[in-house]
Structures are given as structure tokens and as C-alpha cells.
Amino acid sequence: MTIMAKTKALRAAMLLAAVALLSTVPALAADVDGKWSGTIAGPQGDINMGFTFKADGAALTGSMTGMDGSEIAIKDGKVDGSNISFVVALDFGGMPFTLSFKGVVSGASIKLNGDAMGMPFELTLKKAAVIALAHCVKIECLTTNMGD
């Protein structure tokens, strides 16, 4: 084999290896899609928090459920393997308030570190169980012999 042929073969092998490696990267991303919930201990009791996430490559979209049940869109969402980060912008009667989150997805839980105006907090979210109900309907075929 000539040096040129060996070089082409080596380049082809390196290209195939790179393609194989890059094609496994999406498989390494955590499964963050779905509904998640958790609680934060507040001065007047636990505060329930709910999130819905959808990953699309390195982008994370979704929403946080507000105290009144409304959905508030997350912003600047990112996914990097099992790490996620996002921001939620709130408005309390014309006063803007931003919550920043960074966390790690591990199976059916996400450990989040949050920041509210310089005050750090921690939150562990659990993935909502998906309940699939299978309904079986028995169909009876009735035939009536009406005569020939």
C-alpha cells in the first residue's frame, strides 16, 4: 500500500470514528422531558413548585407553574448532558423578579440550585409518574339471521 493510500485509509477511519462518537452524544443527554414537582421550605410553610420541560438538542424550553396555577415560560434554557440551566422571570405587580436555576438530572430526580435576588436555595424535583390507563372494551358481534 502506498503512503497516499495509507493516509486516505487513516483519514477515512478517523472520520468514521468521529461520526460514531458524535452520534452517541444525544444518547448521553438526560431525559428531562415531562412534568416535575418539588417543594421549598418557606417561612410560612412549604411552597409547591411544578415544572414542565422539553429538551431539543441543547435547548431547554418549558414552564414553571405559578402559585396561582398559571404557566410561566422558562427562558435561556440549556441542556448539557445531565446538566440543565434556565431562568424564570416573574412580575409581582409591576416589580420584576428573576429566579435562576442550575441543576443535575439523575434518573427521575433533578437537584436544582436556585438564586432569587442573591439568595440561594436548593430544590429537588421528582418526575411525575406517567399513568397509562388501558381501557378494554368487549365488542360483541350480534348477528341476526333474517332469513335468506
List the chain pLDDT tens, one digit each, 148 residues: 666 555 555 454 444 444 444 433 444 457 899 999 998 887 888 888 899 999 999 999 999 997 778 899 999 999 999 999 999 998 888 888 899 999 999 989 999 999 988 999 999 999 987 544 444 444 444 444 444 4
Which amino acid is it at 6? K
Yes or no: say if 40 and 50 are a contact pair by the CB < 8 Å rule: no
Helices (H) and strands (E) in the chain, counts: 1, 8
Whether pTM > 0.75 for this model: the answer is no
Tell me which DSSP letter residue 127 carries. Answer: E
CA dihedral 32→33→34→38, nearest 10 degrees, is: 20
Q: What is the pLDDT of residue 29?
A: 56
- CA gap 54, 135 in Å, rounded: 28
Greatest CA separation for the chain:
88
- Angle at the Cα of 35 from the Cα atoms of 34 and 37, rounded to 5 degrees: 145
Q: Which residues pair with 102 in a beta bridge?
A: 85, 113
Q: What is the pLDDT of residue 11?
A: 55
Q: What is the pLDDT of residue 141?
A: 42
Yes or no: say if 71 and 54 are a contact pair by the CB < 8 Å rule: no
Q: What is the pLDDT of residue 27?
A: 41
